[in-house]
Amino acid sequence: MRIGIVCEGSYPYVSGGVSSWVHSIIKGMPEHEFIILAIVPASQKRILQYSLPDNVIQIIEIPVFYEEQGSQKRVNKHMSSEDFDELLSFFQMKTNSGTALRILHSLSKSKDPNIFFRSKAFFEIAKQCSEEEDNVNFIEFFYMLKGMYLPILSVLKTDIPPLDCIHSVSTGYAGLLSARIEHEQGIPFVLTEHGIYTREREEEILVSDWIPAVFKKRWMSFFHHIAHIAYDHADRIISLFEKNSHIQKMNGADPGKLDIIPNGVYLPDRLEREDSKKEVFHIGSVIRVVPIKDVKTMMYAAKELKERGLRFTWSILGPMEEDDRYAKECLELQKHLKLEEEVSFVGKVSVKDYYPLFDVMVLSSLSEGQPLSILEAFSYRVPCIATNVGACQELINGSSNDQTGKAGFVVSPTASLELADRLVWMAEHEKERKEMGEIGFKRVEEHYQQEDVLAAYRSIYHSGGKHAWRE
């Protein structure tokens, strides 16, 4: 089979949990060919963060932003009344039809997709949409609407080669492109949400300073609308854990399409750990150094540990180049708190070499899906302390059908003192800490093995055909 995987802002140019998941799926299915449809911020040279498996036969870069070209004059672009009504309904967020996607794809095929936004048709659409809003300046609304929908035409512009199945790893622009491909090629569409895309965008919009307050509600409705399009066109809608599956249902997904397939990891071939009591307590974190991982809370917790006299080292593993400004702030905070000897930013390394050294792993994220790093730590019998976001509590304490026990602690986001308290407990209770590590290993062994994940997706791909699993 030839499978298209649509990734928005992730694989193969950005490392992280979602990208690692995509890489594992492709690598674990050498019998299939994969084409990567990589939605990227703009058209520019990029550096691969992964060594691509041999069964990746093509990468198609799809820029989400498009440069203005040519004349700024209004264009009288002909459009039938039927197409206009369909587009108006789409811009009013009243239809999720594939017909609207076909029209938008056709409009995007011009040399400059901006031409549509200089047409009489778009002016009339903007006028009618603005009448639904209270007390908005039309000129500001017009350019806001253009900024909202130009990325859609940019993403839909690309022609996609024939595929046997399309698999998107989020809703958003990736889900919208997948819906267009599903409608155009008549192939199965599998959607896997690692986090809930609409919630993540809502959080960003609420704190943004580039979106005027009067337009924030419409921006949030926009992302919900394109998520509904993906839900409506997808044949399978997969989440990683039960809580997110409920959210998908609440957001309008057909319950008959919903599935839960958790993340999985490979168990180490062998595990060598130092059993004798160490003089220095070793804390580890496997993260991208970006704001959503809240590295600063770790630093404040480390400062508290130092003040309490705990002898420790804290290794922070993962790339630092994704958000240069935030990484610089973290390094400055490390220096300000005088933690240069205790906290080290190791960078991107082979994490498998480090897990056996850790006594405990920490994840202080503000938002998560189902972190692979927790499962990887468990596979090395390392207990975890994580914030109560995403599936962290389920992984550490167990789900309703998993009574294995606690494999660590769950703490509140941004609570550096609570995190420090739990770390001190871990340092002072070696026996109980190791028991938690064994519980984590057993949990992965029973519920989160990568072989089971591959088997589930292999079954979905194989049962595809021409919408073979649709009821």
Q: Give all domains of the chain, ordered by start, each with its CATH number.
A: 2-66+157-260 (3.40.50.2000), 81-147 (no CATH), 281-448 (3.40.50.2000)
β-bridge mates for residue 410, sequence order:
386
Find out whether 319 and 348 touch, Cβ atoms under 8 Å: yes
Q: How far is CA 328 from CA 290, 321, 334, 335, 426, in A?
A: 11, 10, 10, 11, 30
Pairwise pLDDT comparison (73 vs 278), residue with the higher score: 278
d(CA 227, CA 183): 16
pLDDT of residue 403: 81
Mean pLDDT of 184-201: 93
- The pLDDT value given to residue 15: 86
Among the ranges given (133-137, 250-254, 345-349), the one the predictor scored with the smallest mean pLDDT: 133-137
**pLDDT averaged over every residue in the chain:** 91
Q: What is the pLDDT of residue 471?
A: 38
pLDDT at 67: 61
Q: pLDDT: is 274 or 185 the higher one?
A: 185
- Looking at residue 328, its amino acid is K
Q: What is the pLDDT of residues 74-95, one digit of tens each?
A: 555 578 899 999 999 999 999 8
Q: What is the per-residue pLDDT for 359?
A: 97
> pLDDT confidence of 284, banded at 50, 70, 90?
very high
**Residue at 124: amino acid letter:** E
| Average of per-residue pLDDT across 273-291 | 83
| pLDDT given at position 402 | 83
Most confident of the following: 78-87, 202-211, 289-298, 461-470? 289-298
Q: Report which secondary-structure segment, H or E, holds 61.
A: strand 56-63
Three-class secondary structure of residue 404 per DSSP: coil
For 365, phi and psi rounded to 5 degrees? -65, 155
Instruction: Tell me the pLDDT tens digit for each residue of 131-176.
Output: 998 888 999 999 999 999 999 998 998 999 999 999 999 999 999 9
Residue 110: burial class (beta carbons within 10 Å; 0-12, 13-18, 19+)? middle
Torsion of CA 132, 134, 140, 145, to 10 degrees: -30
Q: pLDDT band at 338, cuts 50/70/90?
A: very high
Which residues fall within 8 angstroms of residue 143, CB to CB, at 6 or more apart?
A: none
- Name the residue among 375, 383, 380 with its Cα closest to residue 407: 383
Candidates 159, 143, 196, 153; CA nearest to 173 is 153
pLDDT in the model for residue 426: 97
Residue 465 has pLDDT above 60, yes or no: no
**What pLDDT is attached to residue 256?**
93
SS3 (DSSP) at 369: coil
Q: Is the pLDDT of residue 467 over 60?
A: no
Mean pLDDT confidence for 17-29: 95
**pLDDT over 80 at 272, yes or no:** no
* pLDDT band at 65; cut points 50, 70, 90: confident
The pLDDT value recorded for residue 135 is 82
Residue from 172, 183, 180, 181 nearest 222 by CA:
172
Give 193-227 pLDDT, tens digit per residue: 998 999 889 989 998 888 999 999 999 999 999 99
Q: How many CA atoms lie within 13 A of 348 on its CB side?
A: 10
Q: Compute the distance between CA of residue 355 and CA of residue 360 in angstroms, rounded to an integer.
A: 9
Angle at 276 between CA 439 and CA 434, to 5 degrees: 10
User: Is the pLDDT at 70 greater than 60, yes or no?
Assistant: no
